[in-house]
């Protein structure tokens, strides 16, 4: 679906799918990693037909995205007259109002709520029955501190070490050279 705005009115254009496009979309919805060959085998059509169908779905702006919930992420559901500026998802309710879903950090959500002057909302802290993702940090091999930004690498023989700064890199180089003697 694509959307565009004319004079503060949101128009949504429905995308018409062929029966084959609909079947392929449902298969990819279940497992977006499926190959064109396995989909073709299941639907009893050629691989080229499936590749063409997937290309057609992409040209219609249909996205195949992975859905997950990031640890520490918050979600807010806010009901308002129009879709909130800054929200990624918005649904029209039967009474004409809209429910906007805002995801992100507390500061990001607070900024959008203040920008749109929203006082009443529901806050979700966890998504039920979803894959939860925790972003692991990278830690310095010398001091053990978390590396923020791009790590500085040190190659010694066939191993790669990561450091947070040039000082740690030099100390680690000295430590490794003395331990190898």
Fold designation for 138-179 = Ribosomal Protein L24e; Chain: T; (2.30.170)
Distance, in Å, from the CA atom of 151 to the CA atom of 170, rounded to the nearest integer, reads: 14
pLDDT at 79: 92
Ordered by start, the domain boundaries in the chain are 2-59, 69-124, 138-179
Common-topology check for domains 2-59 and 138-179: no
pLDDT at 50: 92
C-alpha to C-alpha distances, 147 to 25, 71, 132, 133, 138, nearest whole angstrom:
40, 19, 23, 20, 5
CATH architecture assignment, domain 2-59: Orthogonal Bundle (1.10)
Q: In the 8-state DSSP scheme, what is residue 139?
A: E
Distance, in Å, from the CA atom of 19 to the CA atom of 25, rounded to the nearest integer, reads: 10
Distance, in Å, from the CA atom of 146 to the CA atom of 140, rounded to the nearest integer, reads: 6
pLDDT at 145: 87
Residue-wise pLDDT for 140-162, tens only, equals 898 988 888 888 998 888 888 88
Strands (E), the chain: 2-6, 9-13, 69-70, 74-80, 89-92, 98-104, 122-124, 132-133, 138-139, 146-147, 152-156, 159-163
CA gyration radius for the chain? 25
Distance, in Å, from the CA atom of 38 to the CA atom of 50, rounded to the nearest integer, reads: 10
Distance, in Å, from the CA atom of 175 to the CA atom of 155, rounded to the nearest integer, reads: 13
Residue 180 has pLDDT above 60, yes or no: yes
- pLDDT band for position 11 (50/70/90)? very low
pLDDT at 130: 63
Residue 129 neighbours by CB under 8 Å, 6+ apart: none
pLDDT at 6: 40
Residue-wise pLDDT for 42-59, tens only, equals 999 999 999 999 999 888
- Mean pLDDT across 95-123: 89
């Amino acid at each position: 679906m694509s959307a565009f705005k004319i004079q503060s009115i949101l128009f949504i254009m429905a995308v018409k799918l062929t029966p084959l496009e609909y079947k392929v979309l449902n298969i990819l919805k279940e497992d977006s990693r499926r190959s064109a060959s396995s989909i073709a085998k299941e639907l009893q059509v050629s691989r080229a037909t499936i590749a063409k169908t997937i290309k057609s779905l992409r040209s219609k702006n249909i996205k195949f995205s992975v859905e997950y919930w990031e640890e520490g992420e918050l979600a807010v559901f806010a009901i308002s007259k129009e879709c909130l500026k800054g929200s990624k998802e918005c649904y029209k309710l039967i009474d004409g109002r809209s429910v906007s879903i805002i995801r992100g950090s507390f500061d990001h959500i607070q900024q959008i709520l203040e920008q749109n002057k929203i006082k009443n909302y529901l806050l979700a802290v966890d998504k039920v029955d979803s894959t939860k993702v925790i972003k692991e940090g990278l830690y310095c091999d010398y001091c053990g501190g978390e590396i923020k930004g791009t790590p500085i690498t040190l190659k010694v023989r066939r191993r790669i070490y990561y450091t947070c700064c040039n000082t740690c890199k030099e100390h680690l180089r000295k430590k490794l050279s003395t331990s190898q003697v």
